[in-house]
Chains A and B, each alone.
Chain A
């Protein structure tokens, strides 16, 4: 039997501990944010001084102060074009199929489990797969095409999951109204379901592309170069037929690999270049995520069923 005054004491102790835990929880949450802030601060103090027009328009060099990220940002842009053009149609198509069309059978179940598992596969394993399959089996070589396809496969699960979630949020009364007017399944999907779920899909696409931009390991695995002093063949030509796809087969480097190369060198001056590249990468990914969060917020607010 506990004495009444002891109960009082225990209760107030419990309450005090409850408050203490609230503070611990808040502090834990701030650990993450402090890290983020320290990261930005560290990169800015080291790298901000290196960011100039010259930094964007120079090739890498043996001399840290003359080196730049021209080949790296051009490579990142071209690889991202291939990735986006592959991952977005495939991911949205797969998402639409699984939500709107797929029959409930073992094969659909298999696809669903498989997509969940693919999201947990380490990115470097995608790189190994691409090295064996794209680079050597399909003979795409260590090219922009291989790199873009690798990253597309890597982000495919993210696009599929985002598409499915936002399609699921469209109420079935929308579909039924379209069917009642004689629309076919594809017409319903194209004209009603997809436009209404566009916000969520766009959010997922932006987040997945921001992940692809920072991805380094799989591209090293398929043989991206760390020192490259020329640009791929330009996609637009002066003479007929004006467009060229030779750049797809070109060797490449991307910004995170350029940064990795600089940070692995012992010289301090190259670390400054790495910090500058890291700062640009950080700002890009944070901006993309910010836009995605804004989209999610806006579309959630605007649509009222």
Chain B
């Protein structure tokens, strides 16, 4: 009887150990499976990039089989939707550069001033309130900003400049500039904040004011971070679509005069997409060539920014 009992206990224990080890194996498999799933999520970001590059290159390749690259870069007319189409990207590029140029003229001085103010002048409480409110600017839907540019800023500017047409690059550029202020100011402020306190204190000890310290010590020290902020601001301005599509017009126009209307690369893509173009036509492929040009422009600026940052990097 006694031995029987012991045997039963022994067997039960053995069964339990077996069950636990099976459980552990199941658990290990489950852990691996979950890890693999999450790895797929992370790796999908690479797939997105590959998808973007592949689609842009493949469709543009079809486009450039029909249209020579030289014409694309040197022709001064972009009349894809007309009877005798011409494919010179330059009018769209100038439109894009003028609107983003104006945007940067607005956003860089204002953004940098705000960054200096928030990081060096404002006390913690003021900063806690001002910063989130300022960041709301980048949360407003861009089409709402388009409405604002067309039906508020343009009439306002027309009071000062009576000859200003209803569609113009000036008001679109100004509104984009205000829109990207938070991108410029937040990143610049972070960069200034990251400058060690002892460097500031050295400057104050020499009798410099906060303004002198900011201009002569902080900006040079934080230059690499500020440069990234500027590059991000430029990327945003170049890629901005709805404001220009609403307020700057859809007529390609080879001009550097901001008082005229002109289509940008992004506005052209929107204009074509609104129509019903057959899949595979040259006009359909042209929006991918335009998109590729846009990506190249931001890429060039990002590389320039990277080189600039590397050249002026300060290490403490």
* Residues of A bordering B, CB below 8 Å: 11, 14-15, 17-18, 21-22, 24-26, 28-29, 31-33, 35-36, 38-39, 42-43, 46, 89-91, 93-94, 96-98, 101-102, 110-111, 114-115, 117-118, 120-129, 131-133, 136, 153, 156-157, 160, 184-186, 207, 210-211, 213-217, 220-223, 226, 256-257, 259-260, 263-264, 271, 274-275, 278, 281-282, 285-286, 289, 293
- Tell me the bound Cα distance from A263 to B142 in angstroms: 13
Report the minimum CB–CB distance from B106 to chain A (whole Å).
9
> Would you call B58 an interface residue if the criterion is a C-beta within 8 Å of the partner chain's C-beta atoms?
yes
CB-nearest residue of chain A to B152:
A42
Q: Are B148 and A129 touching (Cβ within 8 A)?
A: no
Q: Are A22 and B212 touching (Cβ within 8 A)?
A: no
- Tell me the bound Cα distance from A263 to B152 in angstroms: 12
Q: Are B291 and A125 touching (Cβ within 8 A)?
A: yes
- Tell me the bound Cα distance from A214 to B147 in angstroms: 13
Against A, the Cβ 8 Å flags (1 = close, 0 = not) of B249-270 are 0000000000000000010011
> Would you call B222 an interface residue if the criterion is a C-beta within 8 Å of the partner chain's C-beta atoms?
no
- Tell me the bound Cα distance from A91 to B38 in angstroms: 9
- Tell me the bound Cα distance from A163 to B143 in angstroms: 28
Q: Are B232 and A128 touching (Cβ within 8 A)?
A: no
- Tell me the bound Cα distance from A237 to B210 in angstroms: 67
Q: Are B121 and A220 touching (Cβ within 8 A)?
A: no
Partner of A221 from B150, B207, B235, B270 at Cβ < 8 Å:
B270
Q: Are B246 and A282 touching (Cβ within 8 A)?
A: no
* Chain B positions within 8 Å of A36 at CB level: 133, 136-137, 140
* Chain A positions within 8 Å of B144 at CB level: 39, 43, 214, 256, 259, 278, 281-282
Q: Are A211 and B241 touching (Cβ within 8 A)?
A: no
* Chain A positions within 8 Å of B135 at CB level: 289
Q: Are B35 and A29 touching (Cβ within 8 A)?
A: no
- Tell me the bound Cα distance from A289 to B133 in angstroms: 10
Report the minimum CB–CB distance from A56 to chain B (whole Å).
18
Known: A22-B117, A28-B110, A122-B239. A128 touches B141 (CB 8 A): no
Partner of A28 from B46, B114, B273, B298 at Cβ < 8 Å:
B114
- Tell me the bound Cα distance from A35 to B176 in angstroms: 12
Q: Are A214 and B141 touching (Cβ within 8 A)?
A: yes
Q: Are B269 and A124 touching (Cβ within 8 A)?
A: yes
- Tell me the bound Cα distance from A144 to B237 in angstroms: 28
CB-nearest residue of chain A to B240:
A122
CB-nearest residue of chain A to B156:
A38
- Tell me the bound Cα distance from A221 to B277 in angstroms: 11
Q: Are A26 and B246 touching (Cβ within 8 A)?
A: no
> Would you call B44 an interface residue if the criterion is a C-beta within 8 Å of the partner chain's C-beta atoms?
yes
- Tell me the bound Cα distance from A131 to B27 in angstroms: 42
Q: Can you pick out 5 interface pairs between chain A and chain B where the beta carbons lie within 8 Å of each other?
A: A28-B113, A32-B133, A42-B152, A256-B143, A260-B245
Known: A15-B209, A94-B38, A184-B31. A120 touches B143 (CB 8 A): no
Q: Which stretch from B48-56, B63-71, B72-80 is at the chain A interface? A: B48-56
- Tell me the bound Cα distance from A121 to B51 in angstroms: 13
- Tell me the bound Cα distance from A21 to B34 in angstroms: 55
| Closest A-B pairs by Cβ, 3 of them | A122-B239, A214-B141, A25-B117
* Chain A positions within 8 Å of B30 at CB level: 186
Q: Are B140 and A42 touching (Cβ within 8 A)?
A: no
Report the minimum CB–CB distance from B50 to chain A (whole Å).
10
The B interface, classified by DSSP as helix, strand, loop or mixed, is: helix
CB-nearest residue of chain B to A39:
B148
Report the minimum CB–CB distance from A48 to chain B (whole Å).
15
Report the minimum CB–CB distance from B60 to chain A (whole Å).
10
CB-nearest residue of chain A to B272:
A221
CB-nearest residue of chain A to B106:
A31
> Would you call B139 an interface residue if the criterion is a C-beta within 8 Å of the partner chain's C-beta atoms?
yes
> Would you call B288 an interface residue if the criterion is a C-beta within 8 Å of the partner chain's C-beta atoms?
yes
Q: Are A122 and B44 touching (Cβ within 8 A)?
A: no
CB-nearest residue of chain A to B33:
A186
Q: Are B137 and A90 touching (Cβ within 8 A)?
A: no
- Tell me the bound Cα distance from A222 to B266 in angstroms: 14
* Chain A positions within 8 Å of B209 at CB level: 14-15, 17-18
Partner of A220 from B52, B273, B288 at Cβ < 8 Å:
B273
Q: Are B151 and A129 touching (Cβ within 8 A)?
A: no
> Would you call B134 an interface residue if the criterion is a C-beta within 8 Å of the partner chain's C-beta atoms?
yes
Report the minimum CB–CB distance from A263 to chain B (whole Å).
5
CB-nearest residue of chain A to B290:
A128
* Chain B positions within 8 Å of A275 at CB level: 147
CB-nearest residue of chain B to A136:
B279
Partner of B48 from A21, A26, A153 at Cβ < 8 Å:
A153
Taking A35-B178, A36-B133 as known contacts, 20 extra A-B pairs with beta carbons closer than 8 A to each other, sorted by chain A number, are: A14-B212, A32-B137, A33-B134, A42-B151, A94-B38, A94-B41, A101-B38, A111-B45, A114-B49, A122-B294, A132-B288, A133-B51, A153-B48, A221-B269, A222-B273, A256-B144, A278-B141, A285-B141, A289-B132, A293-B132
- Tell me the bound Cα distance from A38 to B150 in angstroms: 14
Known: A94-B42, A122-B294. A132 touches B147 (CB 8 A): no
Q: Are B134 and A126 touching (Cβ within 8 A)?
A: no
- Tell me the bound Cα distance from A129 to B117 in angstroms: 40
- Tell me the bound Cα distance from A25 to B185 in angstroms: 12
Against A, the Cβ 8 Å flags (1 = close, 0 = not) of B24-38 are 000100110011011
Q: Are A186 and B235 touching (Cβ within 8 A)?
A: no
* Chain B positions within 8 Å of A157 at CB level: 45
Q: Are B49 and A18 touching (Cβ within 8 A)?
A: no
